[in-house]
């Protein structure tokens, strides 16, 4: 019987990318002890929990998302005792702990794949997608990989192709196989027994592709692509009708996973979904009481922050969401940092852009994932080609520079070696020099800093039910003004944002007064209207 109290609904999760968060042992790579060292800092932000990206044993071809063992901590991060200590300390501080579970593939170094590739008759021969070549030796169909090229790779031992939808080092698990489903569910139970509070389920759009291996249809050139990242990737020339999850068939597995989670108590399932129509995919996986609890929404993570884009994204999701629940994000370990996605990039406005992004994100209806460094206002780093690590970026450089620019180490101390991230070793990615001035210790000393603002706005959200759970309604506005209401049974709020680099004025519809718990406005109330400075905003409360 379920005892879930829906802790995830309206929650703010802080995403930690371990390699770049804090290096405790001086080897240049962030680790679990480094996270423990800074957990009080995270808790002091006022977030509800942490989401830790993969720290499992891995050859690190794709930042740990190529898992070689689901039940072992990779030595670069520590060991299982370190994880237990981390989880214990987080719970002591009132933080929930969510970890990544990669459902759709493993590393090619995983023992399951090593056994599967031995021959066509071993016990795990069909734990992955294997297929014969066509008569001419080419792959069995036309499916393409996210990271470029064919999604099929020849294995000389089995004399067959195997499917890998991302990189060749990430063979796709065959979840049509009951034994594979059970193995994944048993893995989840293993971590539930270690008292995690939930899972962020990676790339669920890839967990159950077409068993018949039918060709994807061509995407006509006049159809706009919904590819998450704007790169010259032939992947975008197909409708991923068959290479991605078959939705009708996947429902049984989703319901089984949800039932398992609910019977174990307060376990939250956060689905990462993307596809040809990310709107429909995101909603599908979290719609109803028998699917995943909420979906991780890419609506804002790649787009420029403009009035048109923001309004269109909110309206699209709100018109279709029904009883599903979104978990918004403005940035992540995969996406360019938010302050670098405004059309105007005047360095003098970086603090204001950062604060606007935080205020906008935390005013939306849904839960939220705050990516590490977002609370500092960090911009996207420039990483030289010789320092790049990202397999995706290396494939498409220089037109696409990959994801390393949002993964550089967190600056903890402005004047310290490696900005306090690593005391001795050369960091696995360079600390971005312009980030030093945004270091935590420098912002602690400045009461007007982005960090202080983030803490204050998180407190405001936590203590304002209408911001966490209320309905939302977009208002018509001129210029670069974004305005919407958030309302519940007792309170109506008016949230107004200037997404441009020039001052704007707007007459307020109705009688409102400033919400006194909002820490920063860059806004004046005059003659029943608002005057918003560049990237200014205000949160107002209806006077009844």
Please pick, among 48, 62, 66, 202, the residue that the annotation labels catalytic: 202
Query: Is 272 one of the catalytic residues?
Result: yes
Cβ(51)–Cβ(42) below 8 Å: no
Distance CA 499, CA 493 (A): 19
Please pick, among 31, 100, 226, 272, the residue that the annotation labels catalytic: 272
Among residues 311, 327, 309, the alpha carbon closest in space to that of 10 is found at 327
The DSSP secondary structure of 466-534, one letter per residue, reads HHHH-EEEE---STTEEEEEEE-SS-EEEEEEE-SSS-EEEE-SS-EEE-TT-----EEEETTEEEE-T
Distance CA 352, CA 342 (A): 11
**Which residues, other chains included, contact 122 with Cβ-Cβ below 8 Å and sequence gap of 6+?**
115, 116
Cβ(333)–Cβ(17) below 8 Å: yes
36: tokens are 């423990």
Output the CA torsion sign for 6, 303, 281, 246.
Answer: negative
- Tally of CB atoms within 10 A around 213: 16
Distance CA 96, CA 21 (A): 18
Cα angle 18, 69, 17; round to 5: 10
Among residues 316, 260, 245, 247, the alpha carbon closest in space to that of 293 is found at 260
**Which residues, other chains included, contact 72 with Cβ-Cβ below 8 Å and sequence gap of 6+?**
56, 57, 80
Distance CA 333, CA 63 (A): 10
* 3-class state of residue 538 by DSSP: strand
**Which residues, other chains included, contact 3 with Cβ-Cβ below 8 Å and sequence gap of 6+?**
265, 266
Can you state the percent helix, strand and coil of the chain, rounding each to 5? 30, 20, 50
* HEC string for 261-330: HHHCCCCEEEEECCCCCHHHHHHHCCCCCCCCCEEECCCCCCCCCCHHHHHHHHHHHHCCCCCCCEEEEC
Among residues 78, 31, 24, 35, the alpha carbon closest in space to that of 424 is found at 24
Burial class (CB in 10 A: 0-12, 13-18, 19+), 516: exposed
Burial class (CB in 10 A: 0-12, 13-18, 19+), 529: exposed
Which residues carry out catalysis? 202, 272
């Amino acid at each position: 019987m379920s005892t879930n109290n829906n802790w995830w609904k309206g929650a703010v999760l802080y995403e930690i990318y371990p390699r770049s968060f804090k290096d405790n042992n001086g080897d240049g790579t962030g680790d679990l002890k480094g996270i423990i060292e800074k957990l009080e800092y995270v808790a002091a932000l006022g977030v509800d929990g942490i989401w830790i990206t993969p720290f499992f044993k891995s050859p690190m071809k794709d930042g740990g998302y190529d898992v070689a063992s689901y039940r072992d901590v990779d030595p670069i991060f520590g060991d299982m005792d370190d994880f237990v200590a981390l989880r214990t300390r987080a719970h002591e501080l009132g933080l929930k702990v969510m970890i990544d579970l990669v459902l759709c593939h493993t590393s090619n170094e995983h023992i399951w794949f090593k056994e599967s590739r031995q021959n066509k008759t071993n016990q795990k021969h069909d734990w992955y997608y294997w297929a014969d070549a066509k008569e001419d030796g080419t792959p069995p169909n036309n499916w393409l990989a996210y990271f470029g090229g064919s999604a099929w790779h020849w294995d000389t031992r089995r004399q067959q192709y195997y499917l890998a939808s991302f990189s060749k080092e990430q063979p796709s698990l065959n979840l049509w196989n009951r034994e594979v489903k059970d193995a994944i569910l048993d893995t989840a139970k293993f971590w539930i027994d270690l008292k995690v509070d939930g899972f962020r389920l990676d790339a669920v759009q890839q967990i159950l592709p077409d068993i018949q291996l039918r060709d994807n249809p061509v995407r006509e050139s006049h159809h706009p692509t919904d590819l998450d990242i704007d790169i010259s990737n032939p992947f975008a020339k197909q409708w991923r009708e068959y290479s991605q999850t078959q939705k009708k068939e996947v429902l049984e597995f989703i319901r089984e996973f949800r039932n398992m989670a609910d019977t174990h108590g307060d376990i939250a399932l956060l689905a990462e979904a993307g596809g040809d129509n990310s709107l429909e995919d995101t909603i599908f996986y979290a719609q109803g009481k028998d699917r995943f609890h909420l979906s991780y929404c890419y609506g804002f993570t790649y787009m420029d922050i403009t009035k048109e884009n923001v309004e269109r994204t909110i309206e699209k999701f709100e018109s279709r969401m029904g009883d599903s629940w979104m978990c918004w994000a403005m940035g992540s370990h995969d996406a360019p940092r938010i302050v670098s996605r405004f059309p105007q990039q005047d360095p003098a406005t970086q603090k204001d852009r950062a604060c606007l992004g935080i205020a906008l994100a935390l005013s939306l209806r849904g839960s939220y994932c705050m990516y590490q460094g977002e609370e500092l206002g960090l911009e996207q780093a420039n990483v030289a080609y010789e320092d790049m690590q990202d397999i995706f970026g290396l494939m498409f450089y220089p037109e696409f520079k990959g994801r390393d620019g949002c993964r550089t180490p967190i600056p903890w101390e402005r004047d310290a070696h490696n900005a306090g991230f690593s005391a001795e070793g050369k960091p696995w990615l360079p600390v971005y020099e312009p980030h030093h001035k945004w270091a935590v210790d420098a912002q602690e000393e400045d009461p007007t800093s982005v960090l202080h603002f983030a803490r204050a706005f998180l407190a405001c959200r936590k203590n304002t039910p209408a911001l966490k759970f209320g309905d939302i309604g977009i208002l018509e506005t001129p210029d670069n003004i974004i305005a919407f209401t958030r309302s519940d049974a007792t309170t109506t709020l008016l949230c107004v944002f200037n997404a441009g680099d020039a001052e704007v004025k707007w007459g307020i519809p109705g009688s409102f007064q400033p919400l006194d718990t909002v820490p920063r406005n860059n806004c004046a109330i005059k003659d029943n209207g608002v005057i918003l400075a560049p990237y200014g905003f205000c949160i107002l409360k209806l006077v009844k």
